[in-house]
Structure 1
Amino acid sequence: MEEEEETIVPINNDLERKIAEAFEVFDHAGNKRIDVREVATIIRGLGCCPTEAEVQEVIVKIEDHQTPGSVHLLQFLPYVSQFITEHKYEPATPEQLLEAFQVLDSEGHGYLTKEHISTLMTQDGEPFTQDELDEMLEIAVDPHTQTIPYEYYINQLMVEESNPTIASQQKTC
């Protein structure tokens, strides 16, 4: 196998620097390549909320055809920079989240039951994994009532977004 030449990837602004830094976390070999399975994690870590189908579309466009299963920073950086600049895959606003919860709360109680939300989150739309559901319920469920008072939960999500460790664990898309 031929040794690969060191490719210089120009970083032109703060956004590109942020994207490159996130990419480098997963570049374990230090060769400006990541496994395609890391793409969703990086994109979501940058604050974007694509669906799994949208992630697959991104991968198809940026996957290295000469090294299948990998993505080079040279392809990743401009593509991700463009869709972040275009505000594509932005997370739901608090207002959108509230509206969605109100639709699910057809009786207008101001809360959802743990069982109801668990069913919805694992069976409808783009289902949560059990780990994702457990993380959500840990924050969302009121320990006294065992319900999800959704206005309070939305406020918790918005406060926690300022904490990158917690925000990276939340799926508010």
Structure 2
Amino acid sequence: MAEREEKGEDALVAEIQKKITETFEVFDRESNKTVDVREIGCIVRALGCFPLRQKYRNCLNRFQPIPEDVILHAFEALDENKCGYITKDDLVKHLTQGGEPFTQEEMEDMLAVALDPETDILHYRDYRVKLVVDETKTFPFNG
């Protein structure tokens, strides 16, 4: 029984390592086993961890993923024309003028990952899938 549990743990560790490797490879634009330090935040979020800025860290004991329907509703609220996408200009406007605005670096990081490189628009129904965490396949991090 213990041997079976150990094999299950080994498989889980292998799966986690594979996911980390695959995620880093997405951001390794030059295929040289390195990523830009400014992309670490995006990589961490892509792995299902949602670190908070220092002033909010004491409010939560663990990182909480956001459900897919909440993400979709948020994007739909920004899609004033209800066309299924958000233009780069509209996205920049929303993320820099309301609430806690993105920094220029955060904005550049998000746009590099989120926008279709040919059309400069965000197809949010496709993009939201990248933002959703499958809680059954993530490593439980405690804050």
Please classify the TM superposition score into its range, dividing by the shorter chain length: 0.5 to 0.7
Q: Percent identity?
A: 32
SS in 1 for 2:82: coil
| CA positional deviation for 1:94 | 1.6
What stretches of structure 1 of length at least 5 have no aligned partner? 1-40, 59-78, 165-173
Larger of the two Rg values belongs to structure: 1
Matched, 1:54 2:56: yes
TM-score by length of 1: 0.44
Distance 1:48 1:140 in 2: 17
Q: Aligned runs of 1:2-151 on 2, under 5 Å?
A: 47-50=49-52, 53-55=55-57, 58=58, 83-84=61-62, 90-151=64-125
What stretches of structure 2 of length at least 5 have no aligned partner? 1-40
TM-score by length of 2: 0.53
Distance 1:139 1:130 in 2: 15
Question: Runs (4+) of structure 1 moved beyond 4 Å?
Answer: 161-164
Distance 1:142 1:106 in 2: 19
| CA positional deviation for 1:47 | 2.4
Which has the higher relative contact order, 1 or 2, with Cα contacts under 8 A spaced 6 or more apart? 2
Q: Is the 8 A contact 1:49 1:91 kept in 2?
A: no
Distance 1:117 1:96 in 2: 17
SS in 1 for 2:132: helix
Q: Is the 8 A contact 1:141 1:147 kept in 2?
A: yes
- Please tell me the root mean square deviation across aligned C-alpha atoms, in Å: 3.5
| CA positional deviation for 1:52 | 5.7
- The structure with the greater share of residues assigned to helix is 2
